[in-house]
A and B are shown apart, each in its own frame.
Chain A
Amino acid sequence: MKEFLSHLFIPKESNNHRAKVLHHTNLFLSIVFLVLASFFIQAVKTKFPSVLGIQADISSEQLLFLTNKERQNIGVGSLVINDKLSQAASAKAQDMFEYNYWAHNSPTGKTPWVFIRNSGYRYVYAGENLARGFTRAEDAIKAWMESPDHRSNMLSSNYKDVGFAVRVGQLNGEETVLIVEELGNLNLPIVRSRVESSKPVVQSAPHISVQAVHRQPLINIQSLSSNIYIVFVVVFIFALLLDMIIIEKKKIMRFVGHNIDHILYLLLILVLIGIWGKGVII
């Protein structure tokens, strides 16, 4: 075992003075393994969602609380849940899954406003925020707050009412958690906030009652996949570092790429694994 590991990670005569794990064949096999592992994980996720699936804990109550907390921080009045906006949000979420799209306007030409009007909410102002792939309400709100347009929608004093839809479904063949936030106002606002939305966006909301997704599969797919990728990247960085140090000491000339280039690039990939994959917004 020790000899095997040494052959894998220590550059020496037996591996032509290049850590075996860094040979082209092994690099290629690693890529093939990752592709196959990803397809396997996707297949298990689809067939056995209770074993391997998306862990999520999001409710409209949490979303409302966090939204109002942000509004209070800048002195804007709190939003209240409106059943019609919630209906509109539900209809929009349903439409997105049914027609398989990730956009404010549907492929059939329906704008967000259509869903709001159909719910019977006669708005003066309306807006819509969408998020997908988030597993915690805090992360979705944080993402909206970091985007100027979404933040403007969330914090606008033009809005008094809100409706949320939180649904799990398939978009582009991938199971995901979809959050729809529908904002509106039936009357002209008397006082305008500092942050105002110049372009109202309409979105549908979930059922009239509180919307929530609470899922706790045996294995959380996001942690599992991230950990697999992190292990692979760290192993390669470790092998490159070891290879570089030993070859420098032995002063051996080789025709190989610069390990330091590969290490810097893989460090970036490692950081991206950490900051990406939490979800996206539009």
Chain B
Amino acid sequence: MLKRISEHGLYYFSLIVILTLAFFLAYSNSYDRSFQIGVVIATTFFYVLWGIMHHLLNHDLHMKIVIEYILIGAFGLTVIFFLLSVNGS
């Protein structure tokens, strides 16, 4: 695992930077609902796209993998949307 991370350092670095940026944006605007939704949609889109691109560059992209990233992204969006909705905020 560590070997793969070091081999794909740029990819993981960029992923961590984007996720960290999303965290800070989310934290600093934690009371603005429109912004919250925008941040989570943009981050999810980036995560799915970045994952697919990475597999494509590694020549191991498969439809199963695309669906997996989309499902995990959809899971994350579902959690956040319903959290905001159920909590009445």
Contacts and interface: CB of A to CB of B under 8 A. Distances in A.
Contact of B1 (A35, A229, A260): A260
A132 B87 CA distance: 10
A132 B40 CA distance: 21
A225 B82 contact: yes
Contacts of B16: 264
A258 interface: yes
A225 B75 contact: no
Contacts of A248: 1
Interface string A77-118: 000000000000000000000000000000000000000000
Interface in B16-47: 16, 19, 22-23, 26-27, 30-33, 36, 40, 43-44, 47
B83 A24 contact: no
Contacts of A134: 89
Contacts of A24: 64, 67-68, 71
A261 B16 CA distance: 9
Interface of B: 1, 5, 12, 15-16, 19, 22-23, 26-27, 30-33, 36, 40, 43-44, 47, 50-51, 54-55, 60, 62, 64-65, 67-69, 71-76, 78-80, 82-89
A256 interface: yes
A244 interface: yes
Interface residues of A, number: 58
Given A229-B82, A280-B32, A133 B68 contact: no
Given A34-B78, A226-B83, A255 B71 contact: no
A191 B10 CA distance: 56
B83 A255 contact: no
A276 B26 contact: yes
21 contacts: A24-B67, A31-B78, A34-B82, A133-B87, A176-B89, A222-B87, A236-B72, A236-B75, A248-B1, A255-B60, A255-B62, A260-B1, A261-B15, A261-B69, A264-B15, A265-B43, A268-B22, A273-B83, A276-B80, A276-B84, A276-B89
A258 B12 CA distance: 11
B74 A31 contact: yes
Contacts of B36: 272, 276
B80 to A, nearest CB: 6
Contacts of B23: 268, 271-272
A264 B19 contact: yes
Nearest to A265: B47
Given A134-B89, A257-B65, A278-B89, 17 more contacts: A24-B67, A24-B68, A38-B85, A54-B88, A132-B89, A176-B89, A222-B87, A244-B1, A262-B72, A264-B19, A265-B47, A265-B76, A268-B43, A269-B79, A275-B30, A277-B84, A280-B33
